[in-house]
Amino acid sequence: MMKNIKEDERLNKLNHSCAHLLAQAVKHLYPHAKFWVGPVIEEGFYYDIDLGEDVIKEEDLETIEKEMKKISKDGKRIVREELSLEEALEKFKEDPYKIDLIHHMEEGTVISCYMQGDFTDLCRGPHVESVKELKHFKLLKVSGAYFKGDSKNHMLQRIYGICFDTIEDLEAHLQELEEAKERDHRKIGKDLSLFMSHDLVGKGMPLWLPNGALIRKQLENYIYEKERSLGYQHVYTPCVGTVDLYKTSGHWDHYQENMFPMMKVDEEEFVLRPMNCPHHMLVYGNSLHSYRDLPIRIGEFAQDFRYEASGAVKGLERVRCMCQNDAHLFVTPEQIGDEFKKVVALILDVYKDFGIKEYKFRLSLRDPLDKEKYFDDDAMWNEAENKLREVLDSFGIDYYEAIGEAAFYGPKLDVEVKPAVGPEVTLSTCQLDFLLPRRFDLSYIDKDGSKQVPVVLHRAIFGTFDRFTAFLIEETKGAFPLWIAPTQVVVIPVSDEHHGEYAEEITSWLKEANYRVELDHRNEKLGYRLREAQTKKIPVTVILGEQEQKDQTISYRLFGEKDTTSCSKEEFLNYLQERIEKRR
Ligand code: TSB
Ligand code: ZN
């Protein structure tokens, strides 16, 4: 696990001070530079800089680093000074960014600035005593960043860096960063031809290539069977809806900024759907229901479209066109606890099958004091939140509570994981909803003959196939377990001339047994073909030569191993079968 710089007191101070050192060096090299903010982040620090017409490129970072080293060697002390509002406005009068910051400070804030040699910056601190302490740092990258993060504003240049107390710590960290880059699903996705993107299709719209599609198909089959066995009923619904549908659901008023704009066809106004709940509400409402029919679980692998900021889209992890492993569960209020428990059990079951061990459960609750933000039914909220807690406790699950993070319509549980690069993301989610069934006027007939409104649980176990696949690629570093691997077995004849026929026979035989097999009988050296099987991370390589042909046996090697095992054909099939059943 990489160090969280922000949370470590010493590293936080060091990195914050290093951001100032960076700014000072930039100021020496680009005297017209103006500085916005330079905070410490989990991964180190950055500074947002306005350089006017000048552009800093990756190759310029070295020059800036050299200047930083020079300043550090000079060893000036870092001195704090407190200022009155008037003094601060006077001191920074030439700098519109700092003036902006001063004007936005909360009343009563002590305004302070830090000086080191010829450089002064407005800052709360704290800082290290002297620039001498800033010896072991590295500038990592430069990118564009909108002023105040708003795409309507102009662009600044953001330089990222990291600083440690010792060279050993710095080097270890850089090594970890390198490994994370290697694990990044965008890199592996390219290396293994899993997915691609193209400007002509658009940002955040990946195209799944045959290898990636095979993986996705396994995930679909897997979760479909699980859900079927748990009483889910799957549907297909269109990936558009009318504006009126989303007005009825409330998304038009509350979620529009995340949606693609409306398109008109004849007299109808359509939107690409960002969520599937409204469609599923209509499916439920299509027939009458008695309390005896509930829970009703409507599932769909549903294509959704969301507007994600162009800077936020990332490989398969954050896309604009995604496929949710979605379901809406319609329950009576008494069934909430039980049904929620089943969802949590399913999440745990799935994570076990995929060997996922590092994740965090987050329970998002309402802020009871915020009457505006939350659907108003105190009793309902309290009961529901307590039930969710009870269920999590009954599993002995470690979770943290996020007060004020619930959706308007109910509390929710999210499962968060950490990608190789970048902040945590949510995979699975389960959200309680008291409101949507009312908006769609849904009902069931209760025991006493009265009409009641069901409660809905929105849940997605994989989240989306897109995000889950991104995660799986990083978890496995592209060496997928046998049951998921796009190519499970590659068959390599030692010499095609002598053993080609036997290799073809074995390949067909494995295909008939339903394995995904490739035959590599190219006219290349054996060593070369064996290495390629490793590069492609194929789980099992079958090597067939004189002995195997004569005895009608099989020799195989596993990914990442050097040893070869020989066995009968039957034993080989049993071996594969067992590994698939155990999902190894
Ligand atoms: C679970 N209506 C619910 C649904 O019934 C819903 O849409 N929930 S959601 O907004 O949380 O999305 C479900 C899951 O989709 C998230 O948990 C997350 O794993 C995944 N997801 C969300 N946005 C993206 C995105 N831009 N790219 C990839 N996956 C995403
Ligand atoms: Zn939903």
Ligand 1: which residue has its CA nearest to atom 10? 275
- Alpha-carbon span 583 to 580, nearest angstrom: 5
Residue 200 three-state SS:
coil
Q: Which two tokens stand for residue 453?
A: 């409104």
Q: What is the pLDDT of residues 392-415, one digit of tens each?
A: 999 999 999 999 999 888 899 999
Q: Which ligand is nearest to the CA of 429?
A: 1
Q: Is 308 in the pocket of ligand 1 (CB under 6 A)?
A: yes
C-beta of residue 305 within 8 angstroms of C-beta of residue 341: no
pLDDT value of position 86: 85
Ligand 1 pocket: which of 324, 325, 339 to mutate (most atoms within 8 A of CB): 324
Does residue 297 have its Cβ closer than 6 Å to ligand 1?
Answer: no
**Whose Cα sits closest to atom 25 in ligand 1?**
318
Bridge partners (DSSP) of residue 296 are 330
Q: How many angstroms is it from 201 CA to the middle of ligand 2?
A: 27
Q: What is the DSSP string of 69-135?
A: HHHHHHTPBPEEEEE-HHHHHHHTTT-HHHHHHHHTSPTTPPEEEEEETTEEEE------SBGGG--
CB 300 near ligand 1, within 6 Å = no
Taking the centre of ligand 1 as the mean of its atom positions, its distance from the CA of residue 324, in whole angstroms, is 7
pLDDT of residue 182: 93
Q: Of the candidates 95, 122, 124, which has an alpha carbon nearest to the alpha carbon of residue 109?
A: 124
- The answer to whether the CB of 27 is under 6 A from ligand 1 is no
Residue with the smallest CA separation from ligand 1 atom 16 is 463
pLDDT of residue 476: 95
The residue contributing the CA closest to ligand 1 atom 1 is 459
Q: Is 544 helix (H, G, I), strand (E, B) or coil?
A: strand
Closest by CA to 50, choosing from 89, 100, 118, 111, is 100
- Answer yes or no: is the C-beta of 326 below 6 A from any ligand 1 atom: yes
**Residues catalogued as catalytic:** 277, 306, 324, 326, 328, 412, 458
Residue 249 CB less than 6 A away from ligand 1: no
Mutate to test the pocket of ligand 1, among 281, 322, 417 (most ligand atoms within 8 A of CB): 322
Torsion angle, CA of 427/432/435/436, rounded to 10 degrees? 50
pTM exceeds 0.85, yes or no: yes
Other Cβ atoms within 10 Å of 236 Cβ, number: 9
Q: Whose CA is nearest to atom 24 of ligand 1?
A: 318
If you ran DSSP here, which 8-state letter would residue 352 be given? Answer: H
Q: Which residues surround ligand 2, an ion (CB under 5 A)?
A: 277, 458
Which ligand approaches the C-alpha of residue 412 most closely?
Answer: 1
Q: What pLDDT, on a 0 to 100 scale, did the predictor assign at position 1?
A: 66
Q: What's 372-421 look like in SS3?
A: CCCCCCHHHHHHHHHHHHHHHHHCCCCEEEEECCCECCECEEEEEECCCC
Pocket test for ligand 1, best of 219, 418, 464 (most atoms within 8 A of CB): 464
Atom 12 of ligand 1 has which residue's CA nearest to it?
Answer: 463
Q: What digits encode the pLDDT tens for the residues 470-482?
A: 999 999 999 999 9
Taking a C-beta distance cutoff of 8 angstroms, is the pair 418, 359 a contact?
Answer: no
User: Angle 210-229/336-353 helices, nearest 10 degrees?
Assistant: 140
Residue 206: CB within 6 Å of ligand 1?
no
For residue 17, how far is its CA from the centre of ligand 1 (angstroms)? 38
Ligand 1 contact, 469 CB (< 6 A)? no
Structure tokens at 5: 């710089």
- 465-471-477-482 Cα dihedral, nearest 10 degrees: -40
The closest residue, in CA terms, to atom 14 on ligand 1 is: 463
The segments of the chain whose pLDDT lies below 70 read: 1
Cβ 138 vs Cβ 159: under 8 Å: no
